[in-house]
């Protein structure tokens, strides 16, 4: 499997790549705070953040689709979390829906709030995707250590980064085994074996984590030390 799906563009030579990771993180955090702390931020703030994002992606010389696709991962969560905003926010009623003996109103203010939430979530995650796409993960960890991030949190990030590739490889092996045993059968029959496959993946991951943890303790690892 390709092992660069997390660091595919982080070793580039764009202007954004050459910036100090600490100042990149500070700039992005400042933009995210400006976007999300203000409850009712004006539309031009989101438009300005989008324009800065596009300019940064072009200066970074990374694939635009790669960054935008990673940012889209936030949309399902934002859409689900804010699904009731159009019905629970007061304002001008645009549509009244009958639900049995009750009526539910869809307001213009609720729709605007819902759209604002989705835009903010998408822009926020896209900025984070830009940071990770232009900064090697070890460099990003060093920047977090410079900001005095908790050592245990840094250890957790480092271990997650190290073993996510192993987990993906294990998943691909299970997928190949699953496909070879159910080749040509209908998807409904394959779905029956999905539960056991997920359980096997969980057990293998848990057993590997226990072995790695025991080996680390045997070599003198002290959790939370810098």
**pLDDT-based confidence at residue 184 (cuts at 50, 70, 90):** low
61: three-class secondary structure by DSSP: coil
CA–CA gap between residue 130 and residue 135 (Å, rounded): 9
Q: What is the pLDDT of residues 29-82, one digit of tens each?
A: 888 888 877 655 677 778 888 888 888 887 777 777 778 888 787 778 878 877
Q: Give residue 155's domain range.
A: 150-218
Q: Are 126 and 68 in contact (CB under 8 A)?
A: yes
Q: Is the pLDDT of residue 1 over 50?
A: no
Please check whether residues 181 and 121 belong to one and the same domain.
no
Q: Which residues pair with 104 in a beta bridge?
A: 97
* Tally of CB atoms within 10 A around 92: 9
| Boundary-marking domain end, from 144, 165, 193 | 144
CA-to-CA distance for 23 and 82, rounded, in angstroms? 32
**Position with higher pLDDT, 18 vs 42:** 18
Bridge-partner residues for 106, per DSSP? 95
Is residue 225, in this structure, part of any structural domain at all?
no
User: Which long-range contacts does 104-113 make (Cβ < 8 Å, 24+ apart)?
Assistant: 110/85, 110/86, 111/85, 111/86, 113/82, 113/85, 113/86, 113/89
Among 88, 112, 144, the domain boundary falls at: 144
Q: Are residues 139 and 162 in the same domain?
A: no
Q: Same structural domain for residues 140 and 154?
A: no
Least confident of 8-12, 69-73, 140-144: 8-12
Q: How far apart are CA 202 and CA 209, in angstroms?
A: 10
* DSSP alpha helix (H) spans, the chain: 15-18, 21-36, 43-60, 64-71, 75-81, 85-88, 108-133, 137-146, 151-181, 187-192, 194-218
Measured distance CA(160)–CA(123) in Å, rounded: 24
Specify the higher pLDDT residue, 226 or 36. 36
What was the pLDDT predicted at 199? 77
Residues 102 and 156 occupy one common structural domain: no
Q: Which of 129, 144, 159 delimits the end of a domain?
A: 144
**Residues 127 and 191 grouped into a single domain:** no
Can you tell me the mean pLDDT for 210-224? 78
Q: Which of 72, 39, 34 is nearest to 52 (CA)?
A: 34
pLDDT of 26 strictly over 80: yes
As beta bridge partners, residue 97 has: 104
Give the mean model confidence (pLDDT) for residues 130-143. 85
Residue 171 pLDDT > 70, yes or no?
A: yes
Q: Do the domain assignments include residue 108?
A: yes
């Amino acid at each position: 499997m390709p092992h660069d799906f997390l660091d595919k563009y982080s070793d580039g030579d764009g202007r954004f790549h050459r910036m100090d990771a600490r100042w990149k993180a500070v700039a992005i955090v400042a933009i995210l705070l400006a976007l999300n702390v203000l409850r009712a931020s004006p539309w031009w703030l989101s438009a300005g953040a989008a324009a800065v994002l596009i300019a940064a992606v072009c200066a970074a010389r990374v694939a635009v689709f790669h960054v935008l696709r990673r940012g889209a991962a936030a949309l399902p969560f934002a859409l689900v979390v804010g699904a009731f905003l159009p019905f629970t926010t007061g304002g001008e009623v645009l549509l009244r829906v009958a639900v049995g003996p009750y009526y539910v109103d869809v307001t213009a203010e609720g729709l605007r709030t819902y759209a604002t939430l989705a835009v903010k979530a998408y822009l926020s995650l896209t900025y984070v995707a830009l940071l990770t796409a232009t900064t090697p993960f070890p460099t990003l960890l060093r920047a977090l250590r410079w900001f005095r991030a908790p050592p245990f949190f840094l250890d957790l990030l480092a271990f997650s980064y190290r073993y996510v590739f192993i987990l993906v490889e294990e998943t691909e092996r299970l997928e190949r085994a699953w496909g070879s045993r159910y080749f040509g059968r209908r998807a409904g029959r394959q779905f029956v074996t999905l539960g056991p496959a997920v359980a096997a993946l969980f057990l293998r991951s848990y057993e590997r984590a226990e072995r790695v943890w025991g080996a680390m303790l045997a070599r003198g690892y002290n959790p939370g030390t810098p």
